[in-house]
A and B are shown apart, each in its own frame.
Chain A
Amino acid sequence: MTKHRLNQRSQFATRWLALATVATLASSADALEVDGKLLVGAYRVPAESASARRSYYWELENGVKEVARSRIDAPRELAVVLLGDNASENGKRFEVEFYGGSLLPSTIVVRKGSTLRINNKDEIAHEVYAKGLKAFGPETISPRAIRSIELKEAGSWQLYDRLVTHVRGQLHVLANLVAIAKVNPDGEYSFSDVEPGNYTLRVYHGAKLLVEKPVEVVKRDNRKKEIAIKLDPITLTNSSKPE
């Protein structure tokens, strides 16, 4: 594993650590950590639609070294969430960033009634908006500025940026969202502070729901405060359909 990938991991770990800490403090003594892995090797990033205009005159291989294969940027593009009846009121604020010229993550899943905060860490301004969602209209976010949006309506909307046109995202606002996993570049994900019970695990890639499966989180040892539960690996393919 290259160093920069490790750095990316540590960056995400740091980010989610803060959320986990908050969740842990608020959670009950029975809260569990749930881990899993998405096998993304076979999953190809969907090609741009044929109608999309070619945005260059030339795209040539360099002729010196073989070009690298396109692969999915899992932390940015995939969202793994648990849905259940016992959705808590915790974590009503969800934070995303503009980094590297686009949203991080670009597949955003938030609970209905929560607040979405977008922190622009790019050196250029963005003007992101959700197509069809009035509460999330276009508004300039200057470099190092934050924009907050209250999401009271459940649904799914595509995100666009008026200033940086390659930006694409998907916003899912769900009423029964229990937890959001952190995903690393290798597809490993983990939920923290999950109460025992029956849930539905969903994996989103943009607007596409790749996986939907029931998950039972069972407390096996009453003596331990937190017990890590390993879910079976999930193989993502381009034909993946919700189970």
Chain B
Amino acid sequence: MLLLSRFWYLFLAVMAAAAVGAALLGQGIINAKSDRNLAEQLRRDRFELEAMLRLESRARLDAIAFITVDNKIGEILRKAVNVENEKGLWELNAQLKEVLRGHITRLAEAAPGKGTLEEKRTRVAPDIAIAVDVRGRIIAQLGPLMANPPGSGLGTFPLVRRALQGYLRDDIWVYDRRVYRMAARPIIYGGQYVGAILHGHRYDGPFIEKYAKNLGGASVAFFYQTDVLASYSPSDPQNAPNRQQMQKPLSKILVSEKFKQRESTDPVELEGDGLAIYSRVVGSAADVDVGYVIARLKEHIATPIELFNSASDQDIEALPITELVVIALGLFGIGLLFLFLERDRPFGQLVDKTNEIAQKERDRLIVTEWRGGFRKLADAINRAIDKEVEKAAEVAPTRKKVNLDEILGPTPEAGDSSAFFGFAEETKAPSETAKGFMLTPPPPSTIDSPKAPPRPPSKPKAAPALPQHPLKPLPSEKSADFDEDTHFKEVFSQYLATRRQCGESIEQLTFDKFLVTLRKNRDQIISKHGAVGVRFTVYVKQGKAALKAAPIKN
């Protein structure tokens, strides 16, 4: 039945399924952990970006420091305090614009890095620059509103108000529907605060790229409500979240509770397998939903195979290779052992025993020596042997007839309905019995069968085959409970005794050979006469021991 082997196969199958399950489970666990790590990474990115923005705003404040000590600006702004008429303001406006332009040129000249002055000017020049007097009135400005008449007020803007009080301060403004990163410094002239200077830069690609690159692999975008002001997506990794993917959730983000509470959002799933957090900027513009988003691509393992592919050399080196090999060999050995015990060994035994049959050391296999399939096989072999024997008896009548004739005397014709067959004719009786015994039909009186057909008159030859010596019925013939093995043994012992009496040799005569001959004849008689059994009788024919066979009809 190969029970152990089957159990082993089941065990291995369960182990394999468990391994696959573990791999899938590991994939899920790793992906979940990866998401958690990514969320944590995004939070760290946010802190880093905030720190960079903080430093950047300080750099802008410092960059305009030299302007605030320019006496020309101070002088003009002090004059402006007392100027109410438009003409006077325009005059001051023109003067101050020139001074501001000069300062921007100096700012470009002092800018670090390579490039022409014009390139540097493009890089460091503010998008908006405003000079206000101590009343908060705009005396001059550069930028999109520079053509406006002077005199408009900015005094209530917290940035301007505090700068006029003497503070250096930064802020983020939405001014005229544009978003600026502002820096403001007071102007001191003659020991008095006479105004303030404001510089503003818009969010643009180079600015974001500069800081996003420092985050290493993160995409960054600044937005004003649902519009993206500028964005940066790295080329590595590929498929990093892009502008559209970061922009898409904005309409929902703006109304989310955490964003309303001015906190950064929880990580948000983006299209394209990205994760992002959204946060407001630090500045007045936060009140009108100006913020930024930091996004990263998820690093998910799609299949368990990727899990193995993602293992590093160190991971592989860390594996207990020796132990794993020992375990594998052990499992393999157990499998082989089970295979040997349940297949190879009994198969070998079966082969050996079958060879013994071929070498005539045994006649049949003892089926109880095997179990399961091998037992069936042994049984089948036994049946095959029996059939071959029968077939040999049927398909080789001449030889068998000769043999029978030699041993038992002439066999009756197939159409002979006589219950007596295999009777050796006296004239054809072999002078020498190869097998050491002869078989002749018994006298009708000895057949223990009421239905035994009378000897047909058409077989006159059968008459001479009658025994010359009266037969002694075997004890078992009278027995109602016919035991064939016992009968064969009795017949064999009688036959040996008769041969001795007749002075014949019994040296080469064995029970096994005798038994084979009896069985062959038994089977032939049974098949020809439809008998249920055959009884053999020993008698002396022409001074030699001979056997007679009689079918048992009922």
Chain A residues within 8 Å of B, Cβ to Cβ: 2-4, 7-8, 53-62, 64-70, 76, 99-102, 121-125, 162-167
Query: Chain A residues near B68 (CB, 8 Å)?
Result: 62
Other contacts beyond A70-B165, A165-B284, A166-B158: 16, CB < 8 A: A2-B81, A7-B82, A53-B262, A55-B282, A58-B58, A58-B170, A60-B169, A62-B166, A65-B193, A100-B153, A101-B157, A124-B145, A125-B176, A163-B177, A164-B174, A167-B156
Contact B82 A4 (CB under 8 A): yes
The segment from B184-192, B403-411, B453-461, B518-526 that touches chain A is B184-192
B175 touches A58 (CB 8 A): no
Q: Specify which chain B residues have a CB less than 8 angstroms from the CB of A70 in the assembled complex.
A: 165
A58 in contact with B168 (CB, 8 Å):
yes
A64 touching B188, Cβ below 8 Å: yes
B106: CB under 8 A from chain A?
no
- Cβ-closest chain A residue relative to B172: A55
Q: Is B515 an interface residue, CB under 8 A from the partner?
A: no
Given contacts A4-B81, A121-B152, A166-B156, contact A57 B57 (CB under 8 A): yes
CB distance from A225 to the nearest CB of B (A): 33
B48-61 interface code vs A (CB 8 A; 1 in, 0 out): 00000110011001
A123 contacts B138, C-beta separation under 8 Å: yes
* Tally of contacts, chain A with chain B, CB under 8 A: 123
A70-B165, A100-B153, A101-B155 are known contacts. Are A56 and B138 too (CB-CB below 8 A)?
Answer: no
- Whether B111 sits at the interface, judged by CB under 8 Å, is no
* Whole-angstrom distance between the Cβ of A233 and the nearest chain B Cβ: 27
Interface: B136 (CB within 8 A): yes
Residue contacts A-B, CB under 8 angstroms, 27 given: A4-B82, A4-B135, A7-B84, A53-B262, A55-B158, A55-B171, A55-B284, A56-B159, A56-B169, A59-B168, A60-B167, A61-B168, A62-B188, A65-B166, A65-B191, A69-B165, A70-B165, A100-B156, A101-B153, A101-B157, A123-B138, A123-B145, A123-B148, A123-B152, A163-B174, A166-B284, A166-B287
CB contacts (< 8 Å) of B283 on chain A: these are 55-56
Asked if A66 contacts B177 (CB within 8 A), the reply is no
Confirm or deny: B365 has a beta carbon within 8 angstroms of a beta carbon on chain A. no
Shortest distance in angstroms between A53's beta carbon and chain B's nearest beta carbon? 5
Q: Return chain B residues, CB-CB under 8 Å to A162.
A: 288
A96 to chain B, nearest CB (A): 14
A165 to B136, CA, bound (A): 18
| B218 at the binding interface (Cβ < 8 Å) | no
Q: Is B452's beta carbon under 8 Å from chain A?
A: no
In this assembly, does B134 line the interface, its C-beta being within 8 Å of a C-beta of chain A? yes
CA gap between A3 and B83 in the complex, in Å: 10
Given known A57-B282, A100-B154, A163-B288, contact A68–B84 (CB-CB < 8 A): no
Complex Cα–Cα for A101 and B174 (A): 12
Instruction: Let me know if B546 is at the binding interface, CB within 8 A.
Output: no
- Give the CA-CA distance A124 to B145 in the complex, in Å: 9
- The CA-CA distance from A3 to B175 in the complex, in Å, is 30
**CB within 8 Å for A61 and B166 given contacts A55-B158, A56-B283, A166-B156:** yes
Q: Are B165 and A55 in contact (CB under 8 A)?
A: no
Interchain nearest-CB distance for B52 vs A (Å): 11
Given contacts A4-B135, A53-B286, A123-B145, contact A62 B168 (CB under 8 A): yes
How far in angstroms is the closest Cβ of chain A from B409?
128
CB neighbours (8 Å) of A62 from chain B are: 68, 166-168, 185-186, 188
Q: Are A165 and B170 in contact (CB under 8 A)?
A: no
A99 touches B188 (CB 8 A): no
Q: Contacts A57-B57, A165-B287 hold; do A124 and B167 have CB atoms under 8 A apart?
A: no
Given A100-B156, A123-B148, do A68 and B166 touch, yes or no (CB 8 Å)? Answer: yes
- 6 closest Cβ pairs, A-B complex: A100-B153, A165-B287, A67-B166, A102-B156, A100-B155, A123-B152
Query: Which of A8, A64, A165 meets B288, CB within 8 Å?
Result: A165
Q: Is the beta-carbon distance between A57 and B54 smaller than 8 angstroms?
A: yes
A58 to nearest B CB, angstroms? 5
Q: Contact between B156 and A101 (Cβ–Cβ < 8 Å)?
A: yes
Contact A67 B148 (CB under 8 A): no
In this assembly, does B162 line the interface, its C-beta being within 8 Å of a C-beta of chain A? yes
CB distance from A70 to the nearest CB of B (A): 7
Among A57, A61, A70, the most chain B Cβ lie within 10 Å of the Cβ of: A57
B282 touching A56 by the CB < 8 A rule?
yes
In the bound complex, residues from chain B placing their C-beta under 8 Å from that of A55 are 158, 171-172, 282-284, 286
Most buried by A among B61, B134, B148, B154: B154
The answer, yes or no, to whether B285 is at the interface (CB within 8 Å) is yes
A183 to chain B, nearest CB (A): 17
Q: Is the Cβ of A57 less than 8 Å from the Cβ of B58?
A: yes
B136 touches A100 (CB 8 A): yes
Q: Is there an interface contact between B82 and A3, defined as CB atoms closer than 8 Å?
A: yes
Taken together as a complex, chains A and B put the C-alpha atoms of A58 and B152 apart, in Å, by 26
With A122-B153, A124-B176, A166-B284 known as contacts, the answer to whether A68 contacts B82 (CB < 8 A) is no
Which residues of chain B are near A66, meaning CB under 8 Å? 166
Question: Across the interface, which residues of B come within 8 angstroms of A102, CB to CB?
Answer: 156
A8's nearest neighbour on chain B, judged by CB, is B135
Query: Judging by beta carbons under 8 Å apart, are A61 and B156 in contact?
Result: no
The residues of B that contact A125 with a CB separation of less than 8 Å are: 176-177
Interface string of B220-241 (1 = CB under 8 A from A): 0000000000000000000000
B153 contact set on A, CB distance < 8 A: 99-101, 121-122
Q: Which residues of A contact B166 (CB under 8 A)?
A: 61-62, 65-68
| Contact residues in B for A122 (Cβ distance below 8 Å) | 152-153
Determine the distance from Cα of A65 to Cα of B165 in the docked complex, in whole angstroms. Answer: 10
CB distance from A181 to the nearest CB of B (A): 22
Which residues of chain A have C-beta atoms less than 8 A from B152's C-beta?
A: 121-123
Task: Tell whether, in the assembled complex, residue A57 and residue B156 are in contact, meaning their CB atoms are under 8 Å apart.
Answer: no
Chain A residues whose CB sits within 8 angstroms of the CB of B191 once the complex forms: 65
Q: Nearest Cβ in chain A — how far from B230, in angstroms?
A: 19
Known: A100-B155, A123-B145, A165-B285. A58 touches B84 (CB 8 A): no
> Which residues of chain A have C-beta atoms less than 8 A from B61's C-beta?
58, 60
Interface residues of B in 173-203 (CB under 8 A from A): 174-177, 185-186, 188, 191, 193
What 0/1 readout, one digit per residue, does chain B (34-69) give for beta carbons within 8 Å of chain A? 000000000000000000011001100100000010
Shortest distance in angstroms between B504's beta carbon and chain A's nearest beta carbon?
Answer: 130
Instruction: Find the residue from B57, B134, B156, B165 having the highest chain A CB count within 10 A.
Output: B156
On whether A165 and B282 interact (CB within 8 A), knowing A3-B82, A62-B185, the answer reads no
Query: Nearest Cβ in chain A — how far from B268, in angstroms?
Result: 21
A58 cross-chain contacts in B, Cβ below 8 A: 54, 57-58, 61, 168-170
- Least CB distance, A15 to chain B, in whole angstroms: 14
How far is A62 from B68 in the complex, measured between Cα atoms in Å?
A: 10
The docked-state distance in angstroms from the alpha carbon of A8 to that of B156 is 15
Q: How far is the CB of A168 from chain B (nearest CB, A)?
A: 9
Q: Is the CB of B174 within 8 A of A60?
A: no
